[in-house]
Amino acid sequence: MDYFPFFFDLKGRSLLLVGGGDVGLRKARLLVRAGARIALVSHEVDPELKELLEAHQGEWLASDYSAELLEGRVLVVAATDDQALNEQIHADCIARNLPVNVVDNPPLCTFIFPAIVDRSPLVIGITSSGKAPVLARLLRAKLETWIPTRYSDLGQLAARFRDAVKTRFSNINQRRKFWESTFQGTVAERVFNGQMEEAERLLQEQLDASDSQEQVGEVYLVGAGPGDPELLTFKALRLMQQADVVLYDRLVSKEVLDLCRRDAKMIYVGKKRDNHAVPQPDINRLLVEQAKAGHRVVRLKGGDPFVFGRGGEELEELKTAGVPFQVVPGITAANACSAYAGIPLTHRDYAQSVKMITGQLKNRTSELNFAEMIHPNQTLVFYMGLHTLELLVQGLLEHGKPTDTRIAIVSQGSTPEQRVLTGTLVDILAQQEKAQLPAPAIIIVGEVVELQPQLVWFNTSD
Q: Of 90-104, 275-289, 326-340, which range is least confident?
A: 275-289
Given pLDDT bands bounded at 50, 70 and 90, which one contains residue 216?
confident
Task: From 301, 299, 198, select the one nearest 247 (Cα to Cα).
Answer: 299
- Average pLDDT for 342-347: 95
Task: From 46, 55, 23, select the one nearest 38 (Cα to Cα).
Answer: 55
Given pLDDT bands bounded at 50, 70 and 90, which one contains residue 365?
very low
State the catalytic residues. 249, 271
Taking only the tens place, the pLDDT of each residue in 418-453 is 999 999 999 999 999 999 999 999 999 999 999 999
The reply to whether 332 sits in an annotated binding site is: yes
What is the domain partition of the chain in residue ranges?
Answer: 14-113, 148-214, 216-331, 334-455
- DSSP of 405-426, one letter per residue? -EEEEEESTTSTT-EEEEEETT
- Average pLDDT for 115-129: 92
Residue 396 has a pLDDT of 95
pTM here? 0.64
Checking if the pLDDT of 269 tops 80, the result is yes
Residue 131 has a pLDDT of 86
Cα–Cα distance list, 233 to 219, 237, 245 (Å): 17, 6, 19
Checking if the pLDDT of 366 tops 60, the result is no
- Which of these CATH numbers, 3.40.1010.10, 3.40.710.10, 3.10.129.10, 3.30.950.10, describes 334-455? 3.30.950.10
Q: Of 148-157, 217-226, 453-462, which range is least confident?
A: 453-462
The reply to whether 56 sits in an annotated binding site is: no
Taking only the tens place, the pLDDT of each residue in 58-102 is 999 999 999 999 999 999 999 999 999 999 999 999 999 999 999
Burial 179-216 (b: 16+ CB within 10 A, else e): eebbeebbbbbbbbeeeeeebbebbeebbeeeeeeeee
β-sheet bridge partners, residue 423: 407
The reply to whether 43 sits in an annotated binding site is: yes
What is the C-alpha separation between 297 and 222, in angstroms, rounded? Answer: 10
Residue 278 has a pLDDT of 83
What is the C-alpha separation between 338 and 455, in angstroms, rounded? Answer: 11
Q: Number of helices (H) and strands (E), helices first, in the chain?
A: 16, 19
Phi-psi region of 265 (alpha: psi -120 to 50; beta: other; left: phi over 0): beta
Residue 432 has a pLDDT of 96
The reply to whether 303 sits in an annotated binding site is: yes
State the average pLDDT for the chain: 91
- What is the rounded radius of gyration, in angstroms, for the C-alpha atoms of the chain? 30
Q: Does domain 216-331 have CATH number 3.40.1010.10?
A: yes
Q: What residue type is assigned to position 420 of the chain? A: V
The reply to whether 302 sits in an annotated binding site is: yes
Q: Of 54-58, 180-184, 390-394, which range is least confident?
A: 180-184
The reply to whether 307 sits in an annotated binding site is: yes
Q: How many CA atoms lie within 13 A of 404 on its CB side?
A: 1
- DSSP of 50-73, one letter per residue? HHHHHHTT-EEE-S---GGGGTT-
- CATH fold match for the domains 14-113 and 216-331: no
Please check whether residue 458 is in contact with residue 417, taking contact to mean a CB–CB distance below 8 angstroms: no
Fold exhibited by the domain 14-113: Rossmann fold (3.40.50)
